[in-house]
Amino acid sequence: MNWKVWGLSKSPWVYHVNVGACNNCDIEILDCLTPRFDIERFGMVLVPTPRHADALLVTGGVTRQARPRLQEVYRQAAKPCIVLCIGACACSMGIFADCYHMAGPPDKVIREVDPNAIIAYVPGCPPKPEAIIAGAVKALQHTVKALS
């Protein structure tokens, strides 16, 4: 694999986007940064702006208000950028599937902007930090294969 792909797999900077979550998944993501799970071992750092991001951690199903904003955040992220849908609501809208305020699961909303987006799913309500780390690592391995 070339050095750029190696760099992407060893240093994925993540940007957290909450498009309508109840905050449980957000708390579990924060847990990943704590000394017990320590995702900085993998080079993952929480960055303040989508421009610096290699992975968008999306939590929650997309509400009508958040839909254009999520699409804008994805467009403004510097490519290559993968999307990790964390939690049952991000994978499929979860229990809010038929609700009046939902505009769809994040993967459908992002594929409207970029049909070739690399999207990984971490189910759970909320997923344990171990599951989030496993999902992130698998997504990176798949990205390396897809980009090589």
CB 59 within 8 A of CB 89: yes
Q: Which residues bind other proteins (CB under 8 A)?
A: 3-8, 10-13, 35, 38, 40-43, 46-49, 51-52, 54, 63-65, 76, 78-80, 98, 100-104
| Residue closer to other proteins (CB basis): 86 or 102 | 102
CB of 26 to other proteins, least distance (A): 14
* Element of type H or E holding 111: helix 106-113
| Residue closer to other proteins (CB basis): 100 or 115 | 100
If DSSP codes are grouped into helix, strand and coil, which group holds residue 139?
helix
CB 24 within 8 A of CB 87: yes
| Residue closer to other proteins (CB basis): 7 or 130 | 7
CB of 74 to other proteins, least distance (A): 13
Ramachandran sector of residue 26 (left: φ over 0; alpha: ψ -120 to 50; beta: rest): alpha
Nearest-angstrom CA–CA distance, 91 and 94: 7
CB of 68 to other proteins, least distance (A): 9
2: tokens are 């070339």
Q: How far is CA 5 from CA 12, 53, 94, 110, in A?
A: 11, 15, 34, 23
| Residue closer to other proteins (CB basis): 16 or 59 | 16
| Residue closer to other proteins (CB basis): 26 or 54 | 54
CB of 127 to other proteins, least distance (A): 21
CB of 69 to other proteins, least distance (A): 11
